[in-house]
């Protein structure tokens, strides 16, 4: 393998990794606050892709307006899902809310199949994002560069919100001790809504870039990425945002480099995530950046 191909694969891996990272953040944020694995998160990604498809291909709204609307709509969808399917079960045993999450996932998948049909749709093409340019013999799509840059930027904004703003402080307080936070006057419903809104909004950005990259969307497109991003969050240490990003990059790189170095194993590209997960769980169950869990008394 030449240096050029290696660099090519490396950029591809980083690019895929950032997509995973964006979606993984949503899993980790919700887990951090509610101790809930939001199984519907992958399907929220799918819905975002369809919102974009309808905005651009069906209603011919300029892409920049569509993108903004998609992020807002998806954030709203995340908030609505929490209000209807999770909030009512807040005091129920944790398994109930988990089952509810799986239910929402099935609901969204089947709703999408019913409304948009199971036939894949072509995601609108963005020539300026996909026409490759050459850097020292390496052919690169602008998208491949844009994706990690956007991810890193959003990560900084998110870390700023979490570490420097009142909302972020409230989020950290709620994730540490929900009961005490309420007794300090924090309105937890607002904090939880904001968490779902932000997580889903980031997933929407991921979905937009996912659509541009793979150019075809269908109602079950969120399942596999959803699973992998959940794994990414677990690998990095669930509940930890930097961990989710790290996990996303590890998975993306592992997947692409496996295909590049061992082409005969290409069929196993989806399996690599699970293999990494098993190894991590065996040796560091709390994830790479995770903290050891101590039970609350």
Partner 1 sequence: MSILKTENVVMQFGGVVAVDSLNIEVNEGEIVALIGPNGAGKTTAFNCITGVYIPTSGRVLFEDQNITGKSPDKITKLGIARTFQNIRLFKDLTVMENVLIAKHLHVNYNFLSATLRLPKALYGERQMKNECEELLERLGLTAVKNEISSSLPYGMQRHLEIARALATNPKLLLLDEPAAGMNPHETDELTAFIKTVKDDYHLTVFMIEHHMDLVMEISDRIYVLDFGQTIAKGTPDEIQNNDRVIQAYLGVQEDA
- Nearest residue (CB) to partner 1, 117 versus 189: 189
> Whole-number minimum distance, CB 153 to partner 1, in Å?
15
Which of 119/297 has CB closer to partner 1? 297
Q: Which is nearer to partner 1, 62 or 179 (CB)?
A: 179
- Least distance (Å) from partner 1 to the CB of residue 236? 18
DSSP structure class, residue 268: G
Q: How far is the CB of 82 from partner 1 (least distance, A)?
A: 17
When the beta carbons of 177 and 270 are compared against partner 1, the nearer one is 177
Rounded distance between C-alpha atoms, residue 200 and residue 114, angstroms: 23
Residue ranges binding partner 1 (CB under 8 A) = 161, 165-167, 169-170, 172-173, 176-177, 179-188, 194, 297
Among residues 174, 153, 172, the alpha carbon closest in space to that of 240 is found at: 172
Return the number of the residue (125 or 187) whose C-beta is nearest partner 1.
Answer: 187
Q: Token pair for residue 168?
A: 């972020």
Number of Cβ within 10 Å of residue 143's Cβ equals 17
Nearest residue to 151 (alpha-carbon basis) of 205, 201, 232, 222? 205
What is the residue-wise DSSP string for 206-229?
HHHHHHHHH-EE-TTTTHHHHHHH
CA angle 208-70-149, nearest 5°?
Answer: 40
Sign of CA dihedral 75, 77, 79, 85: negative
Please, what is the minimum distance in Å from the beta carbon of residue 87 to partner 1? 13
Least gap, CB of 119 to partner 1 (angstroms): 41
Residue placing its CB nearer to partner 1 in the complex, 161 or 223: 161
User: In Å, how far from its chain's centre is CA 173?
Assistant: 23
Residue 202 CB, shortest distance to partner 1, in Å, is 16
Q: Which two tokens stand for residue 210?
A: 């996912």
């Amino acid at each position: 393998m030449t240096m050029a191909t290696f660099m090519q694969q490396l950029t591809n891996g980083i690019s895929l990794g950032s997509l995973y990272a964006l979606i993984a953040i949503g899993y980790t944020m919700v887990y951090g606050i509610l101790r809930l694995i939001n199984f519907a998160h992958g399907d929220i990604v799918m819905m975002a892709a369809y919102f974009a498809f309808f905005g651009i291909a069906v209603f011919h709204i300029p892409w920049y307006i569509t993108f903004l609307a998609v992020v807002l709509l998806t954030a709203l969808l995340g908030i609505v899902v929490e209000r209807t399917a999770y909030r009512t079960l807040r005091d129920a045993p944790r398994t109930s809310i988990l089952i509810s999450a799986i239910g929402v996932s099935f609901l969204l998948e089947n709703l999408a199949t019913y409304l948009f049909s199971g036939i894949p749709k072509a995601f609108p093409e963005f020539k300026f994002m996909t026409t490759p340019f050459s850097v020292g013999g390496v052919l690169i799509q602008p998208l491949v560069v844009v994706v990690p840059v956007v991810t890193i930027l959003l990560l900084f904004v998110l870390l700023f919100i979490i570490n420097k703003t009142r909302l972020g402080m409230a989020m950290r307080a709620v994730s540490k001790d929900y009961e005490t936070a309420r007794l300090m006057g924090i309105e937890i419903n607002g904090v939880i809504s904001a968490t779902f809104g932000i997580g889903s909004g980031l997933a929407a950005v991921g979905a937009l870039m996912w659509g541009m990259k793979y150019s075809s969307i269908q109602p079950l497109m969120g399942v596999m990425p959803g699973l992998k991003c959940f794994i990414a969050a677990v690998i990095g240490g669930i509940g930890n945002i930097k961990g989710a990003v790290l996990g996303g990059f590890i998975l993306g790189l592992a997947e692409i480099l496996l295909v590049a170095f061992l082409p005969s194993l290409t069929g196993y590209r989806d399996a690599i995530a699970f293999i990494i997960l098993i190894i991590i769980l065996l040796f560091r169950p709390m994830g790479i950046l995770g903290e050891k869990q101590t039970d609350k008394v």
